[in-house]
Chain A
Amino acid sequence: MPDLIAKSALEGRSLALGGVTLAEVDPGPITSIALYPGGTKTAAKGLRTLGLAMPGPNSFIEKKGARIVWTGREQAFLIGVAPPAIEGAALTDQSDGWAVLALSGVAAVEVLARLVPVDLRLAACPVGTALRTQVNHMNAVILRTGDYGFEILVFRSMARTAWHEIENAMHMVQARAGTKI
């Protein structure tokens, strides 16, 4: 019988540069919840057992380590807990499809400004924002988890590219910080 060892995309790598930290994190289970037509009410009932509800566009809700993230029209990702029984929605396991990178630090916004074409100023992108956008050429889901913190979901197969590009941006931001006009 084979002994299958689980490996994450980046094997839990982390990096600190110029006050910004990048780390692969284990988000726990990720389940896509896609409402069927007319499924809003019954699905809401299922989510209520976790104290959660379907999030509005561009936002996520967090309760006791469980997050529900808007990922599209009538679609959300439940992250961090096994899904409860939910009627009126298609549930699909996405746990292994994504690599999750946490980026934090005062200059985290500056780093992402090199890669993400979205206004990340706190007023425009407050904590609790979920964005479906791009990290350079890659599709991504970006969560504003703190004033200085983000979590970035990218396709697992592209994790190394995502890491490389964010690391590059961190290097450049750090190199700039060390220079005077």
Chain B
Amino acid sequence: MRVDGKGLIDRTKPVRFCFDGRDYAGYKGDTLASALLANDVRLVGRSFKYHRPRGVLTAGSEEPNALVEVVGPSNQTPNVRATVQEVFEGLVAQSQNRLGSLRFDLLAVNDYLSPFLSAGFYYKTFMWPRAFWEGLYEPLIRRAAGLGSLSGRHDEGVYEKAFAFCDVLVIGSGPAGLMAALTAGRAGADVILCEESHALGGRLLSDGGTIGGLPAGDWVAQVVAELEALPNVRIMVRTTVTGAYDHGTYGALERVGLHKPARPNLPRECFWRIVAKHAVLASGALERPVAFENNDRPGIMMASAVRTYLNRYGVVPGRRVTLFANTDQARGVARDLMAAGVTVAAIVDPRPDASSVEDCPVHVGAEVVGSRGRLGLSGIQVRKGSEIIEIETDCLAMSGGWNPTLHLTCHMNGRPRWSEELAAFVPMEGAVPGLVAVGAANGSFSTHGALVTGHAAALKAVEALGRKVSVAVPEAEDMPYRIKALWAVEGTGRAWLDFANDVTTKDVKLAAQEGFRSVEHMKRYTTQGMAPDQGKNSNVAALAVLADATGRGIPETGTTTFRPPYVPVSIAAMGAGGRAEGFAPQRFLTSDQASRDRGAPMIEAGLWYRPSYFPKPGETTWREACDREVRMVRETVGIADVSTLGKIDIQGRDAGRFLDFVYTNTFSTLPVGRVRYGLMLREDGHVLDDGTSARLGENHYLMTTTTAAAGLVMRHLDFVHQAFCADWQVRFISVTEAWAQFAVAGPKARELVLSFLETPVELPFMGVAPVRIGGVDGRLFRISFSGEEGYEIAVPTRYGEALFRDLVARAETMGGGPYGMEALNVLRIEKGFITHAEIHGRVTAHDIGMEKMVSAKKDCIGKAAATRPGMWGPEREQLVGLKTHAPISAGAHLFVPGTEVHRETDQGYVTSVCWSPTVGAWLGLAFLKDGRARHGEKIRLVDHLRGLDVICEVCDPVFHDPEGEKLRA
């Protein structure tokens, strides 16, 4: 019910929204919870396990009951707290965790089965028969439990992540937070003030009162106006600080666009990483419920929430309200209600010495022991001494006192300290370096206490920053906090502790009875504190009940602590921008457009996009194109973009010495103008990478790495240089990006190359020379990865596209053309050249038949390890070729024909395969035990995944031109 003249909502801006298919009206400034309560909607959800009818319990992010699904154009977001979600025109929300309608949830049968569904029931009940677990029990339980549902589609909403830096981070904008921000802001420090709600003021907006002679609301407005005018203060509303991390880093979740209709480019949420020199935790406190029989009916709410709905939203959740509370502060709720013209049926106060002077009936020394009303509260039973009083009421405001919101202080392993006086845990000082808890978050529950401690903490931070400021603390209420702890009312029925996970006092007692006496064990056995609210409403009461059940005090029982995040954070916000193509950068070749123009499908190799093959009219499969491209290279000439290979420019008097150290073979003896193939080992003796290095000058080399290992090799060189030879005269830098490089391969390669050089050069095999092409300085290498006479021509990247288009056009006039990765792979398998499919990190130089490349005349990285026993010899799997006439697969395993096929008889595995149009057979490269001695043998290839079982011939891995005559032609 809406109350005239109350609340901070904008009554000039009505908003229509939809809940469970019905349209409702609210106002701008309403939350979904306040707007539903204003429309007398009390039933908003079903509980997790028993599917009990539930209503709004709180007015904040700690809400355990009012969890709904918000349905947007691109998203369906489950478990949205109706107390946080602001209404906007067109908002569509629906209740969740029900089978059928919310009023007639078929799974409510669980409530009648509750004697069988106590804590740990599934450990006990679903043990037999064992086979039923996976097929029957688990799916049933999953169907019955769980909360909201997902759409099953990708979340294509816009999310953002961002970084911020400040001197002082103030978390919370109640009296303590505002005072801290004002003090630090006036001192000129860079301040970030985060407030979870959409308006600054914290409980001042709900509780009223006066500060410095002004109504609290006016004081808030005044401070906010000043803060907004300070350029060094950044106010972040709708922002919850979710975690405290090392080095003054805090995570924060900002609801940027969740309170308005989706609009292009406006993020839904932003996940902030805030780095602060100092932090002031002014997060206030959370009111705690009292456990009594059937304390979970819609209409039973936190007292502070009732006050918030009245004063902030102009809503009363009932027409006859009762108050059940054990502090003097809570009396303000009843007084505010009566002042607004709402009937307060009674105040029930368990403290025998509490005042009974109010404008309504007051029962002191009394407790609420039960409630009635199936879908909403209709009455309560109060026990006073031996007497039971029935009270008609549709809203019960309850309060069992307050727990400081100290969660962030636990995020770096700090354990809170029990305060007997407050009957609550308070933060341990210094638990998070640089963070000081103030106000209610530190147990100072009066407004005066909040202002003073907020001011003091900010002052300390300001002084540490070397600044000075003088700010007077205004006068405010300084009521003492008198509490008589009341966790659970004696009774026989079920009394809820954790509303979200349906954990009752009985469950906690059962846990203790069954031996789960440690608070950590009780938590896991009962699932208390493991729901979306993470025990915000129930932790302290649950451990108090446990303490009682185990005959210990609360300090001895201890407490579970809190981990980040403070509130649920959507993965979409944390990983903003990382979905689909945003996962990693995309690297494009200069030939990219030219390849796409020819219809080449692009495949991702590393982060690069490379053409797979270049289809021609009439070709229907990739194989046809690939076979044609292979024949083209073998018969005429082919062009391939090989710019993705890593290139490292190495200079200095010790450059050759350095290469000798990192390669197994010798480079210091390489003549200028020549290229040599090199093999590089890791420190552990396994092959790291291979490639060619060219000597461009006396003290100048150019190293080539494989595409995949370009970064890895650079890192390796950096490490070797810094760790072992930092004083050598050698410097190197990646030039991968600076050069576009194209392979020209085939019998007509030389003719093509000579056609575009300004001055013809005759290069020997493995030669390099500077060349000029159309006025541009480039480099020509005579190297081959195809087994044909091959050249690679490099020009500065800006000319790459032009050169590629030119080369392809020239090749086509000679019967050649471009070739893609598929053909490149076939060509190199035919030639027995290895890639990282073979040098996958577990093979040695010996395994690939290159042990002779490990120079005996010098030391190199990995040499010592490579000579250890076990790193070489016949027991190792060695590189061989396979040849057969049926399709084979990489990943298949090898067995001796006639033996059983199982792990123990495994003889090796296949790393690369292709159909070879040159040889006219299926070829493979494989690692086979003692393989080099077994050329000519038959071996059985088995691939269970693809259902292959083929006999192959073991042979030398070089199928094409084994003497290398074509290369040297």
**Contact between chains at A4 and B797 (CB < 8 Å):** no
Known A-B contacts A6-B799, A92-B733, A113-B162; the reply to A160 vs B773 at CB < 8 A is: no
- Which of the 9-residue segments B143-151, B264-272, B953-961 touches chain A? B264-272
| A14 interface residue (CB < 8 Å to B) | no
Chain B positions 625-657 with a Cβ under 8 Å from a chain A Cβ: 649, 651-652
Could you give, for residues 62-104 of chain A, a 1 whenever the CB lies within 8 Å of some chain B CB and a 0 otherwise?
0000000000000100000000000001101111111000000
Known A-B contacts A6-B799, A94-B735, A97-B738; the reply to A114 vs B608 at CB < 8 A is: no
Residue of A nearest to B727 (CB): A37
**Contact between chains at B237 and A7 (CB < 8 Å):** no
Residue of A nearest to B159 (CB): A172
The listed residue (B260, B797, B800) touching A97 by CB distance below 8 A is B797
**Contact between chains at B586 and A161 (CB < 8 Å):** yes
Chain B, interface SS category: mixed
CB-CB under 8 A from B799, the residues of chain A are 4-7
Shortest A66–chain B CB gap in Å is 20
The listed residue (B160, B163, B729) touching A37 by CB distance below 8 A is B729
**Contact between chains at B774 and A157 (CB < 8 Å):** no
Shortest B691–chain A CB gap in Å is 19
Could you give, for residues 758-789 of chain B, a 1 whenever the CB lies within 8 Å of some chain A CB and a 0 otherwise?
10000000000000011110000000000000
**Contact between chains at A4 and B775 (CB < 8 Å):** yes
Known A-B contacts A5-B802, A36-B652; the reply to A96 vs B737 at CB < 8 A is: yes
Residue of B nearest to A17 (CB): B265
CB-CB under 8 A from B587, the residues of chain A are 155, 157-158, 161
Chain A contact residue count (CB 8 A cutoff): 51
| B888 interface residue (CB < 8 Å to A) | no
Chain A positions 119-157 with a Cβ under 8 Å from a chain B Cβ: 119, 121, 124, 136-138, 155-157
The listed residue (A1, A119, A156, A162) touching B275 by CB distance below 8 A is A119
| A174 interface residue (CB < 8 Å to B) | yes
Q: Once bound together, how far apart are the Cα atoms of A1 and B803, in whole Å?
A: 11
Residue of A nearest to B275 (CB): A119
**Contact between chains at B775 and A34 (CB < 8 Å):** no
CB-CB under 8 A from A121, the residues of chain B are 165, 190
Q: Once bound together, how far apart are the Cα atoms of A34 and B733, in whole Å?
A: 9
Q: Once bound together, how far apart are the Cα atoms of A162 and B651, in whole Å?
A: 31
Residue of B nearest to A124 (CB): B165
The listed residue (B273, B652, B739, B758) touching A1 by CB distance below 8 A is B758
| B116 interface residue (CB < 8 Å to A) | no
CB-CB under 8 A from B733, the residues of chain A are 32, 34, 75, 90, 92, 94
**Contact between chains at B265 and A138 (CB < 8 Å):** no
Could you give, for residues 804-824 of chain B, a 1 whenever the CB lies within 8 Å of some chain A CB and a 0 otherwise?
001000000000000000000
Most buried by B among A118, A172, A181: A172
CB-CB under 8 A from A36, the residues of chain B are 652, 729, 731
Could you give, for residues 723-756 of chain B, a 1 whenever the CB lies within 8 Å of some chain A CB and a 0 otherwise?
0001111011111111100000000000000001
| A171 interface residue (CB < 8 Å to B) | yes
| A116 interface residue (CB < 8 Å to B) | yes
Shortest A43–chain B CB gap in Å is 12
**Contact between chains at B585 and A137 (CB < 8 Å):** yes
Q: Once bound together, how far apart are the Cα atoms of A144 and B498, in whole Å?
A: 53
Q: Once bound together, how far apart are the Cα atoms of A160 and B585, in whole Å?
A: 9
CB-CB under 8 A from B165, the residues of chain A are 119, 121, 124
**Contact between chains at A1 and B756 (CB < 8 Å):** yes
| B256 interface residue (CB < 8 Å to A) | yes
Chain B contact residue count (CB 8 A cutoff): 63
The listed residue (B164, B237, B776) touching A181 by CB distance below 8 A is B237
| A49 interface residue (CB < 8 Å to B) | no
Known A-B contacts A2-B756, A4-B795, A34-B733; the reply to A176 vs B161 at CB < 8 A is: no
CB-CB under 8 A from A89, the residues of chain B are 731
**Contact between chains at B798 and A157 (CB < 8 Å):** no
CB-CB under 8 A from A58, the residues of chain B are none
Most buried by B among A4, A90, A119: A4
Shortest B744–chain A CB gap in Å is 13
| A42 interface residue (CB < 8 Å to B) | no
**Contact between chains at A116 and B163 (CB < 8 Å):** yes
CB-CB under 8 A from B734, the residues of chain A are 97
**Contact between chains at B651 and A90 (CB < 8 Å):** yes
Q: Once bound together, how far apart are the Cα atoms of A80 and B774, in whole Å?
A: 24
| B126 interface residue (CB < 8 Å to A) | no
Q: Once bound together, how far apart are the Cα atoms of A116 and B164, in whole Å?
A: 10
Residue of A nearest to B199 (CB): A181
CB-CB under 8 A from A162, the residues of chain B are 585
Q: Once bound together, how far apart are the Cα atoms of A106 and B365, in whole Å?
A: 64
CB-CB under 8 A from A90, the residues of chain B are 651-652, 731-733
Shortest A86–chain B CB gap in Å is 12
CB-CB under 8 A from B265, the residues of chain A are 171-172, 174-175
How many A-B contacts if CB must be within 8 Å?
144
| B903 interface residue (CB < 8 Å to A) | no
Residue of B nearest to A8 (CB): B798
**Contact between chains at A113 and B164 (CB < 8 Å):** yes
CB-CB under 8 A from A119, the residues of chain B are 165, 275
Known A-B contacts A4-B803, A95-B796; the reply to A117 vs B273 at CB < 8 A is: yes
Q: Once bound together, how far apart are the Cα atoms of A96 and B588, in whole Å?
A: 14
| B577 interface residue (CB < 8 Å to A) | yes
CB-CB under 8 A from B756, the residues of chain A are 1-2
Shortest A17–chain B CB gap in Å is 10
Shortest A168–chain B CB gap in Å is 7
**Contact between chains at B163 and A7 (CB < 8 Å):** no
**Contact between chains at A138 and B774 (CB < 8 Å):** no
| B357 interface residue (CB < 8 Å to A) | no
Residue of A nearest to B257 (CB): A179
Residue of B nearest to A160 (CB): B588
| B584 interface residue (CB < 8 Å to A) | yes
Residue of A nearest to B734 (CB): A97
Shortest A177–chain B CB gap in Å is 10
Shortest A180–chain B CB gap in Å is 10
Q: Once bound together, how far apart are the Cα atoms of A32 and B590, in whole Å?
A: 23
| B930 interface residue (CB < 8 Å to A) | no
**Contact between chains at A96 and B806 (CB < 8 Å):** no
Q: Once bound together, how far apart are the Cα atoms of A124 and B267, in whole Å?
A: 28
**Contact between chains at B731 and A34 (CB < 8 Å):** yes
CB-CB under 8 A from A3, the residues of chain B are 774, 802
Residue of B nearest to A161 (CB): B585
| B119 interface residue (CB < 8 Å to A) | no
| B683 interface residue (CB < 8 Å to A) | no
Q: Once bound together, how far apart are the Cα atoms of A176 and B158, in whole Å?
A: 12
| B429 interface residue (CB < 8 Å to A) | no
Chain B positions 570-621 with a Cβ under 8 Å from a chain A Cβ: 577, 582, 584-590, 607-608
Known A-B contacts A2-B802, A4-B806, A117-B273; the reply to A172 vs B773 at CB < 8 A is: no
| B801 interface residue (CB < 8 Å to A) | yes
| B198 interface residue (CB < 8 Å to A) | yes
**Contact between chains at A7 and B586 (CB < 8 Å):** no
| B263 interface residue (CB < 8 Å to A) | yes
Q: Once bound together, how far apart are the Cα atoms of A75 and B799, in whole Å?
A: 27
CB-CB under 8 A from A94, the residues of chain B are 733, 735, 738
**Contact between chains at B267 and A1 (CB < 8 Å):** no
**Contact between chains at A157 and B737 (CB < 8 Å):** yes
Known A-B contacts A1-B756, A119-B275; the reply to A92 vs B649 at CB < 8 A is: yes
CB-CB under 8 A from A168, the residues of chain B are 577
A-B contact pairs, 21 of them (CB 8 A): A1-B756, A2-B802, A3-B802, A4-B775, A5-B799, A7-B801, A32-B733, A89-B731, A94-B733, A95-B738, A96-B738, A97-B735, A97-B738, A97-B797, A114-B160, A117-B163, A121-B165, A124-B165, A172-B158, A175-B264, A176-B266
**Given A171-B264, A175-B266; 15 other pairs, CB 8 A cutoff:** A1-B756, A1-B774, A2-B773, A3-B802, A90-B651, A92-B733, A93-B796, A94-B735, A95-B796, A96-B738, A113-B163, A118-B163, A124-B165, A161-B585, A179-B266
Binding site for A on B (CB under 8 A): 158, 160-165, 190, 198, 237, 256-257, 260, 263-267, 273, 275, 577, 582, 584-590, 607-608, 649, 651-652, 726-729, 731-739, 756, 758, 773-776, 795-803, 806
Ranked 5 nearest A-B pairs via Cβ: A97-B737, A90-B731, A97-B738, A34-B731, A90-B651
